[in-house]
A = this chain, B = another copy of it.
Amino acid sequence: MNVNGIPQRTIWTSADNTAVEIIDQTRLPHEFVTLRLNTMRDAERAIRDMQVRGAPLIGVTAAYGVALSMRHHASDAALKATCDMLLAARPTAVNLRWGIERMRAVLAPLTMEQRAAAAWSEAALIAEEDVAINQAIGQHGCALIREIHQRKNTMVNILTHCNAGWLATVDWGTALAPIYAAVEADIPLHVWVDETRPRNQGASLTAWELGQHGVAHTVIVDNAGGHLMQHGKVDMVIVGCDRVTARGDVCNKIGTYLKALAAHDNGVPFYVALPTPTIDWTLQDGVQEIPIEERAAIEVTHISGLADDGKIHTVRVTPVGSAVANYGFDVTPARLVTALITERGVVYQPNELNMRALLAD
């Protein structure tokens, strides 16, 4: 998607093909800064410090981390050490593990001499596959937006939570891919952007990427979505997800469940966009079976932003001495999900039967 009018991805190989470059997402939305990752350790640091974030982008960055390492040391021992170190950068990121294991599976059978080139190709392939998946999600989701537009014949209002945009992937995004596709198709739309406390990915990342691409949007606090839906100001909700269980329960950023309840209460369709590998067939009851990560209190107690001096400052909002709990995700039961939007198609009233039917096609 565009930044300042120029097409941009979140990760790309350097002109001399010896390194990869990324956007330092910790500096957004206030500064657009790119970084060059020359070594596996640079990639590991970018993942750990969340300069790259979003499941697909983390997986691709890790794959390139393996590739960068193989150029210097391609022994079995080096491959193992590389994979171990990258895995430790964000131990709970499922896609990180997936990307690394895919690289390991491709590289392990090869000779040391073959590994560097094969690793670079495989990482590039993973990146291109991500783009293709997201474009397909975009096309399937665009059809849903078009339907609403044809029915209403005015601008379509879409609410999203967190950032499942191109910044979380290599390009296009998951939840935002249908929106970018609809913009390309000249369907008039406007996006309500949930701030997404505590890390403010909506206010900082989603608002920034929509703004850079020229998509009409309005930032709201997470508390506002129910009110907007009561007053007919939301035509559909589209969110991404971290994991979907076999029966269609959706684990996504904390607060997603509240928006799904409000959508259900007001007859607003609630869509979840995802690549099909996000489905975890080993799980059924998401609320009972998915462990929810508890994150550091400082994400709640302190907020960073741009101060009058043009620098990023951090301020404390809670009183010293008050305890804080910080749950990263919640689970939206399948009964509240209108449909899943995948690269293979749309699954209405998701359950194991119709999800498996989609994949069998």
Contact = CB atoms under 8 A, between A and B. Distances in A.
Interface of A: 28-30, 192-193, 195-198, 200, 203-204, 207-208, 210-211, 216-228, 230-231, 253-255, 257-259, 261-262, 265, 287, 292, 300-308, 312-319, 321-327, 329-331
Contact of A211 (B208, B316, B321): B321
Nearest to A205: B319
Given A304-B315, A316-B306, A221 B224 contact: no
Given A221-B198, A226-B257, A315 B303 contact: yes
A208 to B, nearest CB: 5
A331 to B, nearest CB: 7
Given A258-B258, A306-B316, 19 more contacts: A30-B316, A193-B322, A195-B300, A197-B221, A197-B222, A207-B319, A211-B319, A218-B325, A219-B300, A219-B322, A219-B325, A220-B324, A224-B330, A228-B327, A257-B262, A302-B305, A303-B317, A307-B315, A314-B315
22 contacts: A29-B322, A195-B300, A197-B221, A197-B222, A203-B322, A207-B318, A207-B319, A208-B322, A211-B322, A217-B323, A218-B322, A218-B324, A219-B324, A219-B325, A221-B254, A221-B300, A223-B255, A230-B257, A258-B261, A303-B303, A305-B315, A307-B313
A107 to B, nearest CB: 40
Contacts of A208: 319, 322
Copies per complex of this chain: 2
Nearest to A162: B223
Nearest to A305: B315
B300 A220 contact: yes
A125 to B, nearest CB: 33
Most chain B Cβ neighbours within 10 Å, of A193, A227, A231, A305 = A227
Contacts of A197: 195, 197, 221-223
A163 to B, nearest CB: 13
A259 B224 CA distance: 12
Contacts of A193: 322
A312 B313 CA distance: 11
A323 B207 CA distance: 9
A222 B221 contact: yes
A258 B223 CA distance: 7
B313 A227 contact: no
Contacts of A230: 257, 287, 330-331
A272 to B, nearest CB: 16
A219 B324 CA distance: 5
Of A210, A222, A321, A331, chain B has the most CB atoms within 10 Å of the CB of A222
Given A217-B323, A221-B300, A322-B219, A226 B305 contact: no
